[in-house]
């Protein structure tokens, strides 16, 4: 049975997405989880994955087109040549925002739900709230940050009003479509703050109606209880430190270790203001801080990349050597995919690398955050480096006589020791025998 491919909703306020490029061609075989196309909104660019295995057919939208959310733009069929009629490109009516009726002790208003940031996504990690309960919000205001296995995105409020309830805490995984907040038209007198786990807990049984209800006078005299201050967990469920990209970058630039905030019990997620708390913590010895930066070096007797680059240009027309380097490096990351920035001779080029042939590597926006930085110093007089951690792990290529020296530098929270060793070992092997990448 054919499976429809639709334009996903990547944010509450999104009603359309622009197809940047198709990563599969009509007739190509696809596996469940393969990246089908890239879609761009006003917030981010993301890859959309296949939700079924088969063959891509019936593509009705080309790269560069704006497509309404929910519109069918292709099909995944069981046969490469499918005789069924292609999907109609008519746009569905925009879904109305879910409304909170005020039941279950929730205020009345518009529910903000966990968006689906990818077709194969079933939940998202709530990284941080950008508004506090009771705050006034506008539709375009950033309400919270959400992280999936592909990226971290800011989610707008989607409506004007007041943040009357937050229904999940930073560090919690929330299923797609579940309510995470309520925006009311009027300022709430007693905003609701609860965790997603609390919403799953069974409601307490009602007590027998023996106790008398308080009188109207007692109700007026009893002060309204203030919501308990929201605190984030001391660490996320998977051990990852929750911090905004700006705070993480500033910490690296200033040589600050976010792990010390975790050890001190300071609640996550961390923002720029938390760096002042970090600076005020008692200092540790230089030897202890040095452990938080990883520095590894490998050496191979000969550089096999030059011959491989000539072969790739002659046989496959792949003449961009920087793109080939990016492909070899990204394949060694724990995810096997990501954005790689290649720096050489005063120039910088960014590439988006997905699992698959080297021919699928595409240039990325220069300001797109890199998952890995590759410095090519083979044609300089530098033979070794020790520069320290940067916002992303850094691989450096340098010649040492006839041999090739490869250095990996990264912060302790970028890669585990095991992942760092694997990354450097795999990349050294690929530079010595690049054809391993094609096997």
Structural domain of 140: 99-196
State residue 97's pLDDT score.
55
Statement to judge: residues 312 and 419 lie in one domain: yes
* Residue ranges of the chain whose pLDDT lies below 70: 1, 9-14, 42-45, 81-104, 117-121, 148-152, 199-240, 244-246, 283-291, 436-439
Q: Choose one of 290, 318, 348: the last residue of a domain.
A: 290
Q: How many CB atoms lie within 10 A of CB 96?
A: 7
> 313 with 404, same domain?
yes
pLDDT score for 229:
41
Number of domains in the chain: 4
In this prediction the pTM is: 0.39
62 plus 151 within the same structural domain: no
Rounded to whole angstroms, how far apart are CA atoms 307 and 432?
10
The pLDDT score that the predictor gives to residue 47 is 76
Residue 231 lies in a domain: no
pLDDT of residue 228: 39
- Residues 32 and 123: their CA atoms lie apart, in Å, by 17
- The single residue listed with the structure tokens 């689906």 is 116
- pLDDT for the residue numbered 86: 54
pLDDT score recorded for residue 225 = 39
In this structure, the answer to whether residues 321 and 411 fall within a common structural domain is yes
Q: Are residues 50 and 108 in the same domain?
A: no
């Amino acid at each position: 049975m054919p499976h429809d491919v639709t334009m996903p909703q990547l944010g509450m306020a999104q009603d359309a997405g622009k197809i940047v490029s198709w990563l599969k061609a009509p007739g190509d075989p696809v596996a469940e989880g393969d990246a089908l196309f890239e879609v761009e909104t006003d917030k981010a660019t993301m890859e959309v994955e296949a939700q079924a295995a088969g063959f891509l057919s019936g593509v009705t939208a080309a790269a560069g087109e704006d497509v309404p959310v929910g519109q069918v733009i292709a099909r995944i069929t069981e046969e490469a040549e499918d005789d069924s009629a292609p999907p109609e490109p008519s746009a569905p009516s925009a879904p109305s925002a879910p409304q909170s009726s005020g039941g279950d002790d929730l205020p009345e208003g518009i529910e903000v739900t966990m968006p689906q940031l990818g077709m194969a996504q079933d939940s998202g990690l709530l990284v941080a709230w950008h508004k506090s309960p009771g705050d006034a919000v506008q539709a375009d205001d950033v309400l919270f940050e959400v992280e999936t296995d592909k990226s971290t995105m800011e989610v707008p409020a989607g409506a004007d009003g007041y943040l009357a309830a937050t229904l999940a805490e930073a560090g919690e995984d929330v299923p797609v479509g579940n309510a995470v907040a309520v925006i009311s038209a009027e300022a709430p007198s007693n905003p609701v703050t609860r965790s997603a786990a609390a919403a799953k807990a069974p409601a307490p049984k009602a007590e027998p109606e023996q106790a008398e209800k308080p009188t109207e006078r007692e109700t007026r005299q009893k002060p309204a209880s203030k919501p308990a201050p929201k605190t984030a967990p001391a660490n996320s469920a998977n051990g990852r430190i929750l911090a905004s990209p700006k705070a993480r970058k500033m910490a690296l630039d200033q040589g600050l270790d976010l792990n010390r905030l975790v050890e001190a019990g300071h609640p996550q997620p961390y923002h720029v203001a938390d760096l002042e708390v970090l600076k005020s913590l008692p200092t540790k010895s230089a030897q202890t801080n040095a452990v938080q930066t990883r520095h590894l070096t490998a050496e191979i007797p000969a550089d096999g990349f030059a011959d491989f680059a000539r072969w790739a240009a002659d046989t496959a027309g792949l003449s961009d050597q920087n793109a080939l380097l990016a492909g070899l490096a990204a394949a060694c990351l724990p995810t096997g995919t990501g954005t790689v920035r290649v720096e050489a001779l005063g120039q910088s080029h960014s590439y988006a690398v997905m699992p698959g042939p080297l021919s699928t590597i595409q240039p990325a926006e220069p300001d797109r955050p890199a998952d890995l930085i590759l410095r090519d110093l083979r044609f300089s007089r530098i033979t070794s480096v020790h520069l320290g951690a940067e916002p992303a792990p850094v691989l450096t290529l340098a010649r040492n006589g006839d041999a090739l020296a490869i250095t990996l530098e990264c912060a302790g929270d970028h890669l585990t020791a095991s992942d760092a060793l694997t990354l450097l070992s795999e990349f050294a092997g690929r530079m010595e025998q690049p054809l391993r990448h094609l096997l």
